[in-house]
Amino acid sequence: MKEIILLTISGEDKPGVTSTITSILAGFQVNILDIGQAVIHNTLSLGILIEVPQVSESSPILRDLLFKTHAMDMKVRFQPIGEDEYEQWVAGQGKPRHIITLLARKITAEHIAAVAEIAARHDLNIDKITRLSGRLSLQEEIQPHTKACVEFSVRGAFADTSLLQEEFLRAANDLDVDIAFQEDNIFRRTRRLVVFDMDSTLIEAEVIDELAKEAGVGEQVAAITEAAMRGELDFNESFRRRVALLKGLDASVLESVAQRLPLTEGAENLVSNLKALGFKTAILSGGFTYFAEKLQKQLGFDYVYANQLDICEGVVTGEVVGDIVNGNRKAELLREIAEREGVRLEQTIAVGDGANDLPMLSIAGLGIAFRAKPLVRQSAKQAISTLGLDGILYLIGFRDRDSIL
Catalytic residue set? 197, 199
Cα–Cα distances in angstroms (integers) from residue 310 to residues 216, 251, 263, 290, 321, in the given order: 19, 10, 25, 11, 6
CB atoms within 10 A of CB 256: 11
Question: CB of 107 within 8 A of CB of 114?
Answer: no
Where are any strands of DSSP class E within 84-228? 97-104, 125-131, 148-155, 178-183, 193-196
Distance CA 172, CA 50 (A): 41
**DSSP H/E element including 22:** helix 17-27
**DSSP H/E element including 283:** strand 280-288
Task: Say which residues have a Cβ less than 8 Å from residue 189's Cβ, sequence separation at least 6.
Answer: 396, 397
Distance CA 204, CA 263 (A): 6
φ and ψ at residue 243, rounded to 5 degrees: -65, -35
